[in-house]
Structure 1
Amino acid sequence: MAFCGLARAEEAVLTTPTPQNESASPEDQPSISTSAPALGEFKKALLDRGFNLQINYFGETLGNTGGVRQGAIYEGLLEMSIDGDLQKIAGLKGASFHVNAYQIHGRGLSTYNIFNYSTISGIEARRTTRLFELWFEQEFFDGLASVRIGQLAADTEFILSDIDALYFNGTYGWPNITSTNLPGTGPHYPVTTPGVRLKLTPNDQTTLLLAVFNGDPAGVGLDTALTEIKNPAGINSRLKDPPLAIAEAQYKYTLPIGADGLAGKVRIGGWRHFGKFDDIYFGVDGLSLANPSSNGIPITHVGDFGIYGIIDQMIWRLPGDDPKKGIGVYGFAMACPPNRNLMEFDAQIGVSFAGLWDKRPHDIFGLAASFSKLSSSVQQLDRDAAFYSDPWTPVRNYELALELTYQAQIVPGLIIQPDFQYIFNPGAGAVNPINPTLGKIPNAAVFGLRVGMKY
């Protein structure tokens, strides 16, 4: 989903799951405790002692037409997390810790009904109770630098937009191209892995991030269907796999347009995995792996990588109001080498309308599209398979996901969010795995409703 955010976006959009909202203090984050004095007093008492306790729940109903099967599902996610300010707790200046865990229930629409890459919901995962993140962080030089170490997820800090946290679909946050190309889907919801992260903030506009993770959260390689089975409780803290490194540079700015200016942020980054990856198309004998004469042993490549860019830009804002209220757009693109990856290109675009109605100042409406292109090597392999064996083998090419959503705040910390998605070419044009005689998986329309609560 990708995902890790009840309050990931800087304007405290309520989404799922939850990293910290670093732009807002705990007291300013949306919470139902503001509507219940007893709960508010309890939360404040903990905050005064250095503990930020959060209990968050999301439940959603989703139904589809098209896909492999048609029907409706319910899924839910309960999260408990504690952030500790160790300066208040133990007098350790600049030190903090974080721990959170999930109870995941229900069944996912993509897994059981549609069989597509762009996971319909960011909370979709195997039913279980699991540890997610567990880390310690130390700041240095009055916040100029910080080091975080422990059980980490990459999607709480890397490859994020301030706007994409609004959407249901899991590809907005941890895109399809990383979850399909990295061993074990990479360190993201719902699986994490040991790692260390360095953060530098030389000024108010610039942030530099570098992290090194164990490169496979469950030791399953690219057989990602086994990831959650092999690491069911989130405590399979592997240290022996080749590492994954991610680096990102962020720059915030304000365009001098209008009375108050228009805020924007650019992120440029890349990742490199130091493991071994099989060639998609060529064998060591120089033949196509689909050729019956091939020995079936693929060429081995040392390492894999991807480069990406993200931009968030307000294009209009309410005069004199919150700089995040108005109309904002974002764009994302990532590319990977085609010879060793299922996907070679992934792109997203989205627009959000936040707080435009004075009677509903905290509501947000959004439109987004995600395009995931399978690699040229995969497409050539499919052509060869059709030539050598089955002329009806389709050439898989791309998947396109569209989403339309509206998030309504009932009270602070409680939202209702209706959602519509349409998946073109599910599975990038793959054959129906349940009944191949039916041909390709049909396009799918999805209707959903989510209720979210944050304490």
Structure 2
Amino acid sequence: MGLALPAAGFAQTPTQIEEDRARLGNSTPLIQEIDPATVRDSERAQADAEEKAAGSDKLDTSGNLLGDMGGARPWLYRHGISFDIQEVDELWGNATGGTPSTNGDGQGSGTGPAYDGVTMPTLTVDLEKLFGLKGGLFNVSALQTRGRSISQDHLNNFNPVSGFEADRSTRLFELWYQQSFLGGKLDVKIGQQDLDTEFLISDYGALYLNANFGWPMAPSVNLYGGGPSWPLSSPAVRIRYRPSEKFTFMFAAADDNPPGNRSNSFGIQGGNPVDPTNQTTNDGSGTRFNMGTGALLITELQYALNPQPDDMSNVTKNPGLPGVYKLGGYYDTARFPDYRYNTLGQSLGASGGTPRWDRGNWMVYGIIDQMIWRPSLTSARSLGVFARATGNSGDRNMISFAIDAGLNLKAPFRGRDNDTIGLGWGIGRASSGQRAYDRTSGSLVQGNENHLELTYQAQVTPWMVMQPDFQYVWHPAGGGSDPSYPWRRTGNEAVFGLHSNITF
């Protein structure tokens, strides 16, 4: 069954998702499940690919539940304006393990169902179509998040089982302008941005729902508010340069702390009991545009092995199996609380007090996405592997080392060319500073958290994708204490989920 999705219709440089999808020969999952913005960009990338294959630039609205909206969509399209609405809904249930309540009151059960949902409208304007400014693109989007986070309420793990879990709010998400130069080889984006749509992405890993496979475990728990990543964004400047089809260089400078909360952002400081994830503290509407803390400087170099031609049907020589390899890192200029010492130079775990401030923070990472098999050059079926590793210092971070990896089969069944089944695994290691604090404070010492995920992404209709999911988590929070019963560790968790994406 072919996919009919709304065409982007923009004569612009491709998004990062569209570029990687082309380089990997359309072997990536139909929808990248990092956040609603990557869902939107995945759908646009697929629509653009089908437009090129059909040789048409006519807007196809069969991939929208609301169709052409009484002619409004085609009229807006002619003027370079696209209006999209992404709807994401999830049901989760924890069958074993977990904790009765992460607020420590010991009430209720650690198992049971939970619901979370997101609605994201996006307005995108191609300024070349609108009034002739070549290479100009404007984007604004908003979020309405609802439901409850099963991870925050009952799982007590390092990373949520879903990257779409968020505290309830209605907020501005992104507001940016992008301008391309040099025939599309160079583009600059400035404004309120969510960096996890472009940096640190494994295109095969983006199939999975566990948040670790999107914005990884280390920056999620080590940076203030998780950094400029879903559902938070920050003022930023992003530069991308593509001198050839094989090489891409990206750099961004962003505010490192979207909500601007510093005093109790981390557990080592006592945590934020009102808003543990710091998603709504100081900035529940997303309009604060904080620029008063530190700067997050992030860079990434990409190399494409055997990038695939646009039209494989006319290929006379086998281009080889494609792969994309990425190296990157970030440096945060802010001050972070030390896990070892207090402000008097004493052991923080043994003596208590206020953590000492340490200047700066860093992380390095590497990513591999590699196709390892396909039955023929024109077959939709393919087998791909991915791996990603991150590493950073241990004195001012909760996580010092993490790896995730997996195996994806695209088009697993005849007639299901847009489906993908995948098996992924990840591990995160509590830092030396966190373990030293646990030992000196008399707490259960945290170690490694492992998670395994089996998932199947299926296109149900041209405008709906469903994804049943199973995850198992060993030693949640590295075998840390159950908040309700500090003398025992949180039990291993078996979690079942059903995820849906709808394009209106």
TM-score (norm 1): 0.90
Distance in 1 between residues matched to 2:226 and 2:213, nearest whole Å: 15
- Of residues 457, 474, 486 in structure 2, which corresponds to 1:436? 486
Residue 238 (structure 1) aligns with = 290
- Of residues 36, 46, 63 in structure 2, which corresponds to 1:17? 36
Distance in 2 between residues matched to 1:86 and 1:407, nearest whole Å: 35
Find out whether 1:364 has 2:388 as its counterpart: no
Residue 416 (structure 1) aligns with = 466
CA shift, 1:160, in A, is 0.3
Residue 390 (structure 1) aligns with = none
Distance in 2 between residues matched to 1:147 and 1:262, nearest whole Å: 31
CA shift, 1:31, in A, is 6.8
Find out whether 1:46 has 2:96 as its counterpart: no
For 1:374, give the aligned amino acid.
A
Q: Is the 8 A contact 1:352 1:367 kept in 2?
A: yes
Residue 151 (structure 2) aligns with = 110
Distance in 1 between residues matched to 2:154 and 2:369, nearest whole Å: 33
Q: Residues 31 and 405 from structure 1, CA distance in 2 versus in 1: closer, same or farther, beyond 3 angstroms? A: farther
Residue 106 (structure 2) aligns with = none
- Of residues 404, 415, 419 in structure 2, which corresponds to 1:348? 404
SS in structure 2 of the partner of residue 291 of structure 1: helix
Unaligned runs of 5+ in 1: 387-392
Q: Is the 8 A contact 1:344 1:373 kept in 2?
A: yes
Unaligned runs of 5+ in 2: 1-14, 52-59, 100-109, 267-275, 309-316
- Of residues 303, 315, 325 in structure 2, which corresponds to 1:251? 303
Distance in 1 between residues matched to 2:195 and 2:111, nearest whole Å: 33
Find out whether 1:227 has 2:286 as its counterpart: no
For 2:503, give the aligned amino acid.
K
Q: Is the 8 A contact 1:6 1:13 kept in 2?
A: no
Find out whether 1:155 has 2:196 as its counterpart: yes
CA shift, 1:229, in A, is 2.2
Aligned length: 441
CA shift, 1:325, in A, is 4.0
Residue 302 (structure 1) aligns with = 359
Q: Residues 40 and 376 from structure 1, CA distance in 2 versus in 1: closer, same or farther, beyond 3 angstroms? A: farther
| Deviation by residue 1:389-416 (Cα, 9 ceiling, x = unmatched) | xxxx311112111110001111223111
For 2:85, give the aligned amino acid.
I
CA shift, 1:71, in A, is 0.6
Q: Is the 8 A contact 1:5 1:165 kept in 2?
A: no
Residue 3 (structure 2) aligns with = none
Distance in 1 between residues matched to 2:433 and 2:150, nearest whole Å: 29
Q: Is the 8 A contact 2:192 2:289 kept in 1?
A: yes
Distance in 2 between residues matched to 1:254 and 1:383, nearest whole Å: 50
- Of residues 57, 72, 83 in structure 1, which corresponds to 2:124? 83
For 2:357, give the aligned amino acid.
T
CA shift, 1:208, in A, is 0.7
For 1:233, give the aligned amino acid.
S
Residue 427 (structure 1) aligns with = 477
Residue 266 (structure 1) aligns with = 325
Distance in 2 between residues matched to 1:317 and 1:352, nearest whole Å: 12
SS in structure 2 of the partner of residue 415 of structure 1: strand
Distance in 2 between residues matched to 1:374 and 1:346, nearest whole Å: 9
Map of 1:32-431 to 2, 5 A cutoff?
32-33=62-63, 38=68, 42-65=72-95, 66-68=97-99, 69-221=110-262, 223=265, 225=276, 227-230=278-281, 231-254=283-306, 259-283=318-342, 286-292=345-351, 296-321=353-378, 325-386=381-442, 393-431=443-481
| Deviation by residue 1:257-304 (Cα, 9 ceiling, x = unmatched) | x94411100110000000112321134555422233x7x454432211
Identity of aligned residues (%): 33
TM-score (norm 2): 0.82
Q: Is the 8 A contact 1:283 1:298 kept in 2?
A: yes
SS in structure 2 of the partner of residue 328 of structure 1: strand
Q: Residues 304 and 31 from structure 1, CA distance in 2 versus in 1: closer, same or farther, beyond 3 angstroms? A: farther
Distance in 1 between residues matched to 2:49 and 2:131, nearest whole Å: 21
Q: Is the 8 A contact 2:339 2:396 kept in 1?
A: yes
For 2:406, give the aligned amino acid.
G
